[in-house]
Copies of this chain bind each other. A is one copy, B any other.
Amino acid sequence: MRSQQEITFQERLNETARDIEQLLDTLLEPEPLAGEIARPARLMEAMRYATLGGGKRLRPFLVVESAALFDVPRHHALMVGAALECIHCYSLVHDDLPAMDNDDLRRGRPTTHRAFDEATAVLVGDGLLTLAFDILSRPAVANRKEPGDADIRVQLVGCLARAAGIGGMVGGQMLDLAAEGRFDGTQPRLDQSAVKSLQAMKTGALLRFGCEAGAILGRADHRQRDALRQYGSAIGQAFQIADDLLDVESDPATLGKATGKDAAAHKATLVAILGPQGARSRLQALVAEAEAALAVFAAKAEVLIAAARFVAARKA
């Protein structure tokens, strides 16, 4: 039996997921746009396969709800959410490649390189990564009638590029492969602080960008922007611990992807270091931390607080 508040939260999450699905469907239009020579059919089909028809769209939801704190028009936040989701989807396609994590299953379906082929999957990732910045550069991201709209768009570009790049997601994936002993055959023992750094880069940076993007769109002051950054950082950590718990405690049918992989790879996770019980305590502390960070927004932050609880309690 779910409470009224939970039902409302789930409905909001679903509504944004529907809007993002529709927007991505438009952005990945198979026909060439004005000024384009062509959009290769197989590439578009594979990009749509990798992007549409699934996912909770948690990252776009964070953009939409953090932007709502500042009464940013919803269609601006959705554009940024779609760009962020392109980055997220590209990273899944490239991480699943045989040379990387070599996964056959994703969201219960064959991974892109299995459904198509490896060359296509490489180009799908490259295309989605590039499209994200194309989207952020468009006028639809910020109100042209207000001065400083180009500055908002260029701040979003820089902030997303840093979250997704060498010092963020890409660097985090590199550290993760190194931690698995992929480069020198030895597996370094990562302590808690090294695991936290790795995860802050690999998964935390994009989630934090989602929250910070709302502050940028909303022309937030420093205090508000810092609050959203702290919130984003806490739910980033919570997300990863919940993910690692699911890898230990769920099954492939529920999760739509392989489980037990971390243990099989002797991977250093906070669940492995703290134990499931210790990890669950840490998760609760992070939810409290996320909640506390939002105090500056008072009652307006209700949905984001529910989002933190959702992230910690998710079952798939």
Contact = CB atoms under 8 A, between A and B. Distances in A.
Nearest to A173: B123
A293 interface: no
Interface string A143-164: 0000010110111011011101
A253 to B, nearest CB: 29
A33 B167 contact: yes
B38 A171 contact: yes
User: Chain A: interface secondary structure?
Assistant: helix
Interface string A167-182: 1101101110110001
A214 B49 CA distance: 37
B119 A170 contact: no
Contact of A119 (B35, B122, B164, B177): B177
Interface in A32-49: 32-33, 35-40, 42-44, 47
B161 A134 contact: yes
Given A133-B160, A134-B158, 8 more contacts: A32-B167, A38-B167, A42-B178, A119-B177, A126-B126, A129-B129, A129-B130, A150-B150
B170 A43 contact: yes
Name the 6 nearest CB pairs between A and B, nearest first: A36-B167, A137-B158, A99-B118, A134-B161, A130-B165, A150-B150
Contacts of A127: 165-166, 170-171
